[in-house]
Structure 1
């Protein structure tokens, strides 16, 4: 999860987090919602960006099988 710090002057209720956030408090936010906080620099300061998603392992290539003969 990513982390952001609330830089507003008064406490604010953040429904997405299900709680009230105090001024200068650092909170964890879901990685997929990080941009929603980062795009508000007058309200939220980025502390820790989301971790890079681990790409899936490449598929293992195998030789093609010979077609089956029908009798």
Structure 2
């Protein structure tokens, strides 16, 4: 699990963290690794504390093989 800090101005309810879970300003919470980017992409509300331990499972475009050129 990754960890993020809530930096917003007032308490918020975060259903993803548990039914009726209220997060207070400056509180550090654990979030699922696969959802970490969904929090830290909102820098006015969340900041990274501990990144996911496992590498991201984002899909990337496959690199194409170099093109052969005829001499």
| TM-score calculated relative to the size of structure 1 | 0.72
1:23 aligns with 2:22: no
Corresponding residue number in structure 2 for 1:10: 10
1:39 aligns with 2:53: no
Q: How far apart are 1:20 and its partner, in Å?
A: 0.3
Please, what is the CA RMSD of the aligned residues?
0.8
Off by >6 Å, runs of 4+ in structure 1: none
Q: How far apart are 1:9 and its partner, in Å?
A: 0.6
Matches of 1:35 and 1:11, distance apart in 2: 21
Aligned length: 53
Q: How far apart are 1:52 and its partner, in Å?
A: 2.4
Matches of 1:17 and 1:52, distance apart in 2: 20
Any unmatched runs of 5+ in structure 2?
Answer: 56-71
| TM-score calculated relative to the size of structure 2 | 0.72
Any unmatched runs of 5+ in structure 1?
Answer: 54-71
